[in-house]
Structure 1
Amino acid sequence: MRGRPAPMALWTAHDDLAALVRERWGALLARVNADVSERYAAGEPLPRWFAKAAADSGLTSFAVPREAGGQGAGPRAWGRVLEEIGYLCEDDAVPYTVSMQAGIATALWEADRRAPARRYVPPIVEGTSLAALAYSEDADPFAPSTLLHHTGDGFLLTGHKTHVSGAALADVFLTYARDDNGDMVALIVERDDPGVRLGPTASVGHRTNGPRTLTFRDTPVPADRIVAARDGLGHAQCFLNARRLVAACGPLGRARALLERCARRTASTTRYGRPLSELPNVQGALGRMYIALEAAQAMLHRAFDRAESGRCDPLFDPVVTAAKHFVVEQLRFVTDQSFRVLGGHSCYGDPRYGRALRDVTDLIVAAGAQDTLEVLLGTVAVSACHTSSRKDDPS
């Protein structure tokens, strides 16, 4: 008679990345984990020392182009590193912050105008300056109400950004405004510029990301801080498309850890004289959670393979967009299932589950709201069908 199969690791495909992340950044992540519960409850951002420590250990520069002072890791390697960081680190602000620094540094380096890259990329890579994206206005995302007025030798910036993740610690902001001709412009604003004001903002989740409002009141902007003068809209679309590729990586790793924690809890909890993990309905729930995470990994890794091969549309890629949408929906499902399986323990026995629920909810609007992405993908599908119909029409 055969016995039960030997236990196997759930995430065998990640052994190589897990070893790399544990070896290079395990101590750093453990240091962040030490006070994450207290910081989250208080709404305190990552400690200031983190930026320099992440840079000194090579984490910030891992995916920055080599010519910009980075290590030049490709999209797939970077995504998997972020996923493993999410698996080990209980603070979602870590994968968010390092991916944002790499993203902004890369966007500045690849822009046509060289002055912002020369001035701001080196301190970002070295961890002596933190950058944040100031984009959201609770309005039309491609027609900002923030205005940039030309003054002869420079510009004056006036407007309000309603939610800027990372603003509490940021030294510089990549932001977008409409110029005198109504065109969108990408530019850099410094925290200490005249007329720049930070304010409090409510946030469902990601409370350690340091979210703030950002107001510009006749803020002077030198001409050499303009990142994209002619096609700020294209610059924004490229940046957001790239963000969709990495936004869910850390949370996916965190959801894997949540499933494992949930399984351990059910194995150590007795109901009706049996471990909770032996009840078929509980096993079924854990199985559904595992299926959701494996499917999410497969979808996300397919998007990374597409980016790695250079086949992504930089402005709007349907596979990348579908991956972000699909992964977020699976993470919401897994988090919901953990509450259903664990009952009261998830509500008041362990704060990790509540943090995960709030943070995953925030992902609904990250790098494009889920409903908006559905509409955009529907438009792509309709356009593709019309194109196919015209090709098939013999007339």
Structure 2
Amino acid sequence: MQTANKKNMANFLVAYLLSAFGYEFIFFGMTIYVYEVSQSAFKVGLFAALTFLPRLFASFYGIVADQNSRTKVFAWATAITGCLVTLMALQSSIAWIYLIWLLIAVFLTFIANVRTALMTEIMTQDNYLRGNSLVLILLNSAKVCAPVLAGAASAAWGVASLFYCTGMIYCLSALVCIRIRLPAANTIKRERKIMINLKEALQYTRGNPDVRFLLSVGILWRLFIGLQVSLFVIYIKSYLLGSDTDYGLFMTTIGLGSILGSLAGPWVVKRVPYSSVIFWGMSLHYASFIILGLLHDFYAALIVIFFSYIVFYATLVGLHSLRDKATRVEIRGRVYGSVTALLTPPAIISMLAGGYLTSLFGVGNVLLGAGILALTSFYLLNRPKINLILH
């Protein structure tokens, strides 16, 4: 049994890494491509918002994950994504690429939902901290490698090569995933109405104080800092006058900081109360965006973003572990899906507003303002706890 668990964990981690790598690989290439074609901050923001649009319906995807074998759902979603990405390589019209990307985004949301719930099936509750640390390390390892390899592949073989490579990566992830063997899990009854399942998930989210607090933190982060997805390329290439290589180095630095933070997270959370980790971690992370908005030196920006993401991901390990402990196993797909759906509107608003405001005030001022608003709102959320944490 112990050997079977280790094999399941190894297969899951490989499938997780491949799916994470595929996403980072193609998203990096598409972001640069859209910006080079349009030269518009708003259109880059629109593309990023389009990626998040299917997440509005993440609660329904969570029901599918709870009703079926999560291993099978993971395998089918990655296989279909691989086929769609390969199909996109055959398109020359940006309109068709956007349409196919929207379909891909639906299955990307499926993958993100089900692999999180699947991790909690494979890991025991005592190992959630270790499990979240491992998956975040894998996720950020993909962020480190993807910019370098995507840029090299695009330069050597053209943008179409990114689509073919990503399609193969997702199909390989599906093949690895079907090797996971888990005992039959408790699933919700199919005959139950969808709205009843959604209502149960929302009631659980609202009624559990830990999940409710984490949702509030997530909404504020998405609303004020979610714009970074579409603005970092403009920050580097326009504000700091960098190149594609500089942008790749910047994103790689974020990935390296994220990996170190994920490694440090379990050590920090075991020694510091959750409330203090979240309070100080998020405060320092938000303050870094204020500093980025004031900087005009590329290498100084690299140092700030590096330490910002060390702190952020060390905090995120604690946030995710608290979420997993607070959520019952049999409804995790629905609860995680509902949380994703609730986080999506502020993320879309942030990216669209960030692109629009950048065209009016400049990317440096937008990052500065976003950091100030994020920090202020976070303190207001934590106001009843501040005195306790500080003392």
Structure exhibiting the larger radius of gyration computed from Cα positions: 1
TM-score normalised to structure 2 length: 0.35
More strand by percentage:
1
